[in-house]
Amino acid sequence: MKLPMGTRLRSTVDTTEVVVVTAPPEDIDLRCGGRPMVFITQEATTIDGPVDPCCGGGALLGKRYRHDELGVELLCTKGGEGSLAVGEEPLLVKSAKPLPSSD
C-alpha cells in the first residue's frame, strides 16, 4: 500500500496504532504482529487472529520506528503486543540524537 505522510494505520491482531512520518513513494508491505496493517478508518469488528510468536515483542507508545534502507518512519500512537515490520524485516526503534557537549 502507498503511505502518504500523516496516514494513520492500525494493527489487525492487537491494539497498535501508528502515524506515518516518512515513507517512499512505492508500495510498502507494513505489518504488525505478522499481519498487514490497515487504515484506521476500516471497521474493526474482530481481531484477525493472534500475534505471530516470531513477531511479538511489542510496539511502544510514543516511540518512532524506522527502516533506514527503505526510508520508512512511523510514530506509535497506541502500543500493542505485536512488533512492527516491513514484510519480514523488523522496524527498529529510532534512537535519540546526542546533545552537543556544554563545555
pLDDT digits (tens, 9 = 90+) for 56-84: 678 899 999 999 899 999 999 999 888 99
Would 48 be classed as within a structural domain?
A: yes
Round to whole Å and give the CA distance between 88 and 99. 33
Q: Are 59 and 79 contacting, i.e. CB atoms less than 8 angstroms apart?
A: yes
Q: Is residue 85 part of a domain?
A: yes
State how far the Cα of 87 lies from the Cα of 102, in Å rounded to an integer: 42
Position 84 in a domain: yes
Q: Taking residues 15-41, what's their average pLDDT?
A: 92
**Dist CA 66 CA 42 (whole Å):** 24
Cα–chain-centroid distance for residue 3?
12
Report residue 2 as a C-alpha cell: 502507498
Average pLDDT over every residue of 10-20: 92
Where in the sequence is the domain holding 17, given as residue range(s)? 8-93
Give domain status of residue 103, yes or no: no
- 24 in a structural domain: yes
CA angle 16, 6, 12 (to 5 degrees): 25
pLDDT at residue 75, rounded to an integer: 96
Residue 28 within a domain:
yes
Q: For residue 53, is pLDDT > 70?
A: no
- The reply to whether 100 falls in a domain is no
Number of folded domains in the chain? Answer: 1
Q: Is residue 102 part of a domain?
A: no
